[in-house]
């Protein structure tokens, strides 16, 4: 069972029009297996890699909502985290809500409009496997509100930061409170949506999955009907591609050159710049429903209570 520091990504799920199609897609792409859909929790379906839970797929309750991958940040107290979010200039999209015995979920938007989840574990602790092939390995937020967002995450989660200014690109690594900031301890990153990106691209989080061979995974993804937004390319931190599944949910693939490689910085930003125009990036409004992307995303969306991260 993994132990998570406050603010560490601890879970991801995809909101899809067709969960059965998603199971076929990710089952072949990543070799995932799936539990039964939970009728009590709106068809929420756990995904497993080697028998360990690594993600979930959820049906969209409304076809107008975006098809997206969303990330949840660990908190020991979702109600206290919600209070910090409001005090720091963010907003709650979905107030903390108990999810049976599994834990407490909430959704929030940072001052730039990027939506993320909170998860306070009960019996569901989050990832049982990550940072290995076919599991979650990284996330980063893209924003236009650099200063407000940097201050927000430092205040809410106590992140300590290290700026990466290679090639003049403004990228910040965030490490948990009490740690020495840098690539070895970083749990997430922050990049900017600059003029190189399309004007319509909203603030958002991008989820990365580790794979042994990016090119092979991209070939499989194409065969399954997925789309490639940024073709595979090499960086000092590994080989990367930005893609979307056959229903439009965007994510990234990363094959690291060695187990201890740090998170890509300017290379990831380059990929996202290339990918932005064609990528359908939405923000999550709840563990099983998406929200319209952009500042204040999802504030007018009706959220169900039948969720199970």
pLDDT, one tens digit per residue, over 72-120 is 999 999 999 999 999 999 999 999 999 999 999 999 999 999 999 999 9
Query: What beta strand segments (E) does the chain contain?
Result: 9-16, 33-34, 45-49, 52-59, 68-74, 91-99, 103-109, 115-121, 136-143, 160-164, 171-175, 188-192, 204-210, 227-235, 238-244, 250-255, 283-286, 289-291
Among 49-58, 243-252, 257-266, name the one with the lowest average pLDDT. 257-266
At residue 272, what are phi and psi to the nearest 5 degrees? Answer: -70, -35
At residue 95, what are phi and psi to the nearest 5 degrees? Answer: -65, 155
| pTM (two decimals) | 0.84
Helix (H) or strand (E) holding 146: helix 146-157
Candidates 6, 1, 113, 18; CA nearest to 58 is: 18
pLDDT, one tens digit per residue, over 3-40 is 799 999 999 999 999 999 999 999 999 999 999 776 66
**68-74 and 45-49: which strand pairing?**
unpaired
Q: Does residue 296 surpass a pLDDT of 50?
A: no
**pLDDT grade, residue 169 (50/70/90)?**
confident
């Amino acid at each position: 069972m993994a132990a998570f520091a406050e603010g560490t990504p601890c879970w991801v799920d995809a909101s899809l029009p067709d969960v059965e199609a998603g199971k076929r897609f990710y089952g072949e792409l990543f070799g995932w297996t799936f539990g039964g859909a939970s009728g009590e929790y709106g068809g929420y379906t756990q995904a497993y890699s080697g028998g360990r839970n690594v993600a979930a797929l959820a049906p969209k309750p409304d076809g107008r909502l975006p098809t997206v991958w969303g990330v949840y940040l660990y908190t020991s107290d979702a109600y206290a985290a919600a209070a910090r979010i409001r005090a720091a200039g963010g907003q709650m999209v979905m107030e903390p809500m108990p999810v049976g015995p599994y834990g407490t979920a909430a959704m929030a938007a940072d001052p730039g409009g990027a939506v993320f989840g909170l998860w306070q574990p009960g019996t569901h602790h989050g990832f049982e496997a990550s940072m290995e092939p076919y599991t979650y390995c990284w996330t980063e937020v893209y924003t236009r509100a650099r200063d407000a967002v940097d201050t927000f995450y430092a205040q809410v989660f106590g992140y300590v930061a290290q700026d990466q200014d290679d090639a003049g690109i403004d990228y910040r690594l965030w490490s948990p409170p009490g740690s020495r900031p840098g690539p070895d301890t970083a749990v997430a990153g922050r990049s900017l949506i600059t003029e190189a990106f399309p004007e319509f691209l909203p603030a958002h989080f991008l989820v990365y999955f580790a794979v042994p061979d990016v090119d092979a995974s991209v070939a499989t993804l194409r065969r399954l009907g997925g789309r490639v937004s940024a073709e595979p390319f090499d960086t000092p931190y590994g080989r990367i591609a930005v893609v979307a599944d056959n229903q439009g949910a965007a994510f990234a693939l990363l094959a690291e050159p060695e187990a201890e490689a740090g998170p890509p910085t300017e290379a990831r930003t380059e990929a996202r710049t290339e990918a932005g125009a064609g990528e359908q990036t939405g923000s999550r409004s709840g563990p099983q429903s998406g929200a319209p992307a952009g500042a204040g995303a999802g504030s007018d969306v009706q959220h169900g209570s039948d969720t199970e991260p």
